[in-house]
Structures are given as structure tokens and as C-alpha cells.
């Protein structure tokens, strides 16, 4: 792992006002790249910490490597304290409803004179336009942006199986922040950055819009699409619940595939040597491949597929990744202690810098655990900090997680 001091964003301070996924995903990427990220939580901690069901993993996944302070932003004193933090920062991250921080007195205009180098990033549902004040969620924009239509079978729109728009929207936020930091190197001035769920969804389905423009035919949902390749599907094997995806996406891969597997006359017939001819003969080729794979356990098929160079994947569940040999040997999982004391491993940032996976040394913060250190950094003494705590402006500190 790369240590914090070696990381490219070391020395950059981020103050994060966020909850749920989109804003925190922006923050955790910046933190893993070396930035100091201060998470401002309400008294008692971010409600995301207490989500159940499908939301139970949001906080631990997207809030490691951050420092935490709890501030009552419903008070003028709390707002002033938060403003002091922002005045010491390079970047502000927020993902509350449109205008919420502005109404508190923490909008970008407040810092134009006191911190002109500040990059003020907002993660929103929509960029500027008729929809910009609507409430949005990942699932809302998947539905209205065409992604759910493309994912489910006809007439049954289906959201993707992870918070892909929240996370991708946060990633676009990081891109915008890094671009603004680079501009600041030249101009000395910060600026405002915004990314959104809806426009992120539109970008992701842009390939299907382009398909319509190129072919004149609307893209069909993925379960019934006309594939560009004859073999590009999920196959059953001899063992129940051990499926394989296989994609043969070039004429060279076809040659390797038929060398690795005996497809009978189909494998040697020159009529199937070219991709488009194979696509037209998909109803002939696929039954042969399905029957072949159904006779063999997945453990026997995988080595032959890997040796052939054909694209393939065992169908895995998220929990299978805890034991994935590649992730475990390559530093792809980060050790983390959860709030209940359980130790686990969660995915690292999916990039390498100079051959190393970037990751800072901090774990998951308890609510408000860094308040004293953070406020000392901006010049408050122990008496002032104690007075703020006594008045309920900042929350009590809890012990750190490893």
C-alpha cells in the first residue's frame, strides 16, 4: 500500500457535509488519494450509520480514512464554526437538497472573500435546468434516464444491483474537483463544481442513444438485445449454481475457442469463421455450446477457457469476493473495523499509482471522534472547545476505530 504522505492529494483539506452515498463516495476517493477529509456530522452522528437492510453497508464502504466532527448546524454558533472549518479548506463537498447549505449561510458566496481558493463541490440530482430542484435518488434517475429500462426485460424496468449512479456521480465529482484544482494551480482561484445523478445516467446510456443514431433502430433491453457476438451469454454447467459467462468477441478468439472445445462440425466449418456469420447462426451455435458446457463441471471448464484467452467469468455473489484470490493477493481489499467491533475487508480504490494501490492509514471514524484535534488545527484552545461542547454546539467524542 502507498502511505499517506506519498499520495498525490496529501496536503489537500476537504470538508465534507454529506450523507448516504454520492457525497461520501466523492470524499472516500479523495481520502484514499491522500486528502485530509473532515466529515461534518450532525450531533449524534450521520443517520446513514444506522441504516438497515440494503443501506447497512453505505457508511462503512464510503467513509473510511475520514476524520469526524459533530456540529449542530441548526444553531448560528454551529454554522459559524463550520464556516471557520471551510475557510481552512481547499475543497468543500456537499450533497444535501438544493439550496440547503445556502439557507444555512454556508453557500459558495460566503467564502468568495474569506477563501477565494476554495473549490465548492455539490453532488445533486440534476444539473441546471427544469428539473434542478426536484428530489432525486439513484433509483429515480435510473428509471427516468433509461438505465432501468435497459437492465430489465421488456415491460419490467429493473435498477442495477448496486448504487452505480450514486458512485459514478461521485466519481464525476472527483474528476471535476481535480480539474478545478489543476485550474487553481494556474489562476490561484477556486470555483464551483457540480455533478448529478440524472446527467450521469444519461452519460452511461449514451452508447444506446448513439446506437439509435447510427442504426435508426432503438436499443432493446439487455435481456432481449441482439448481441454483436454469437457467444456472449451465461451458460449452465454440470454443477447446479455454478454458471459461467463466456464472450467470444473476435475471429481470433473463435479460433482459440474451437481449438479448446470440440464443437464438432461447427468448429471446423469455414462458414462460421467470421463474426457476423456467427451472429446470424447464433441459434445453431448456442445449443451446441450449451450442451457441451452442461456436461462438465465449472472447475474443468475454467482452466480451458483461461488457456484459450477467451473472455469468461464465473457468476459470483458479492460475498464471494471476500475470498477472491486476486483481490486478496493484490491488495484489493482493505482491512476495516466496523462500529460493532467486527473486522472485515472491503474493496480498495480500483486504481494503481506507480504500481501500488493507494490507501491511507485511517480506519472508519466514530461520530465526532476527531473534534478536539480538528478544532485545535484551526486555532481553538481547550477552553473554547470545552465551552462549545458544554453548549451542545459540538458532540461528544467517541473512541476511534482501528
What pLDDT, in 10s, does the model give residues 180-196?
999 999 999 999 999 99
Mean residue pLDDT across the chain: 95
Tell whether 189 is covered by a domain.
yes
Q: Which of 274, 300, 319 is the last residue of a domain?
A: 319
Same domain, 291 and 335: no
Tell whether 299 is covered by a domain.
yes
Residues 6+ apart with CB under 8 A from 251: 273, 274, 275
pLDDT at 399 over 60: no
Range of the domain at 245: 227-319
- Catalytic residue (one of 166, 277, 300, 377): 166
> Hey, is 121 helix, strand or coil?
strand
pLDDT at 147 over 60: yes
Specify the pTM.
0.93
Same domain, 197 and 272: no
Same domain, 144 and 99: yes
Same domain, 249 and 382: no
pLDDT at 5 over 60: no
CATH code for the domain of 286: 3.30.1540.10
Same domain, 23 and 124: yes
Over range 92-98, report the average pLDDT. 95
Same domain, 313 and 375: no
What pLDDT, in 10s, does the model give residues 242-283?
999 999 999 999 999 999 999 999 999 999 999 999 999 999
pLDDT band at 400 (very low <50, low <70, confident <90, very high): very low
What pLDDT, in 10s, does the model give residues 200-227?
999 999 999 999 999 999 999 999 988 8
- Of 302, 286, 283, 289, the C-alpha closest to 244 is 302
**Total tally of structural domains belonging to the chain:** 2
Kindly provide the b/e burial profile for residues 271-284, where b requires at least 16 CB atoms within 10 angstroms of the residue's own CB: ebeebeebbeebee
**pLDDT recorded at residue 359:** 81
Same domain, 293 and 336: no
Same domain, 141 and 165: yes
Tell whether 311 is covered by a domain.
yes
Tell whether 290 is covered by a domain.
yes
The DSSP bridge partners found for residue 247 are: 232, 311
**pLDDT recorded at residue 361:** 75
Q: How far is CA 146 from the centre of its chain?
A: 19
Tell whether 397 is covered by a domain.
no
Same domain, 123 and 265: no
Same domain, 76 and 194: yes
Q: Which of 319, 341, 368 is the last residue of a domain?
A: 319
**pLDDT recorded at residue 398:** 67
CA dist., res. 48 & res. 66, Å (int): 15
CATH code for the domain of 382: 3.40.50.10540
Q: Which of 300, 319, 338 is the last residue of a domain?
A: 319
pLDDT at 401 over 50: no
Q: Could you confirm whether 138 is annotated as catalytic?
A: no
Same domain, 45 and 164: yes
Same domain, 167 and 309: no
Neighbours of 122 (CB within 10 A): 24
Tell whether 274 is covered by a domain.
yes
Q: How far is CA 174 from the centre of its chain?
A: 11
Neighbours of 59 (CB within 10 A): 23
Tell whether 351 is covered by a domain.
yes
Tell whether 53 is covered by a domain.
yes
- Of 84, 133, 142, 137, the C-alpha closest to 111 is 84
Amino acid at each position: 500500500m502507498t502511505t499517506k504522505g506519498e499520495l498525490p492529494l496529501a496536503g489537500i483539506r476537504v470538508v465534507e457535509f454529506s450523507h448516504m452515498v454520492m457525497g461520501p463516495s466523492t470524499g472516500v476517493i479523495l481520502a484514499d488519494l491522500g486528502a485530509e477529509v473532515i466529515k461534518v456530522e450532525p450531533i449524534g452522528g450521520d443517520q446513514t450509520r444506522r441504516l438497515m437492510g440494503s443501506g447497512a453497508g453505505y457508511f462503512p464502504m464510503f467513509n473510511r480514512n475520514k476524520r469526524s466532527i459533530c456540529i449542530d448546524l441548526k444553531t448560528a454558533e454551529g454554522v459559524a464554526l463550520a464556516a471557520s472549518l471551510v475557510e481552512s479548506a481547499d475543497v468543500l463537498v456537499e450533497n444535501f437538497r438544493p439550496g440547503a447549505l445556502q439557507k444555512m449561510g454556508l453557500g459558495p458566496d460566503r467564502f468568495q472573500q474569506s477563501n477565494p481558493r476554495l473549490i465548492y463541490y455539490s453532488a445533486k440530482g440534476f444539473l441546471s435546468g427544469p428539473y434542478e430542484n426536484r428530489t432525486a435518488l439513484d433509483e429515480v434517475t435510473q428509471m427516468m434516464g433509461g438505465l432501468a429500462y435497459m437492465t430489465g426485460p421488456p415491460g419490467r424496468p429493473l435498477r442495477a444491483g448496486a448504487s452505480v449512479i450514486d458512485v459514478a456521480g461521485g466519481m464525476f465529482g472527483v474528476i471535476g474537483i481535480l480539474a478545478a484544482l489543476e485550474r487553481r494551480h494556474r489562476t490561484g482561484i477556486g470555483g464551483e463544481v457540480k455533478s448529478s445523478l440524472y446527467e450521469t445516467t444519461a452519460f452511461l446510456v449514451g452508447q444506446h442513444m448513439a446506437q439509435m443514431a447510427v442504426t435508426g433502430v432503438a436499443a432493446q433491453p439487455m435481456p432481449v438485445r441482439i448481441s454483436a457476438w454469437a457467444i456472449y451469454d451465461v451458460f449452465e454447467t454440470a454443477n447446479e449454481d455454478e454458471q459461467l459467462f463466456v464472450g467470444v468477441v473476435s475471429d481470433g478468439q473463435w479460433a482459440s475457442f474451437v481449438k479448446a472445445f470440440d464443437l464438432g462440425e461447427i468448429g471446423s466449418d469455414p462458414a462460421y469463421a467470421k463474426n457476423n456469420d456467427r451472429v446470424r447462426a447464433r441459434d445453431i451455435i448456442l445449443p451446441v455450446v450449451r450442451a457441451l458446457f452442461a456436461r462438465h463441471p465449472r472447475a474443468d471448464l475454467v482452466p480451458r477457457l483461461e488457456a484459450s484467452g477467451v473472455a469468461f467469468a464465473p457468476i459470483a455473489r458479492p460475498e464471494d469476493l471476500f475470498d477472491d484470490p486476486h483481490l486478496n493477493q493484490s491488495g484489493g481489499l482493505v482491512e476495516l473495523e466496523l462500529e460493532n467491533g467486527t473486522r472485515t475487508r472491503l474493496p480498495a480504490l480500483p486504481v494503481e499509482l506507480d504500481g501500488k494501490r493507494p490507501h491511507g492509514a485511517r480506519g472508519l471514524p466514530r461520530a465526532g471522534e476527531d473534534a478536539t484535534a480538528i478544532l485545535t488545527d484551526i486555532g481553538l484552545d481547550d477552553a473554547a472547545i470545552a465551552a462549545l461542547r458544554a453548549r451542545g454546539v459540538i458532540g461528544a467524542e467517541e473512541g476511534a476505530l482501528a
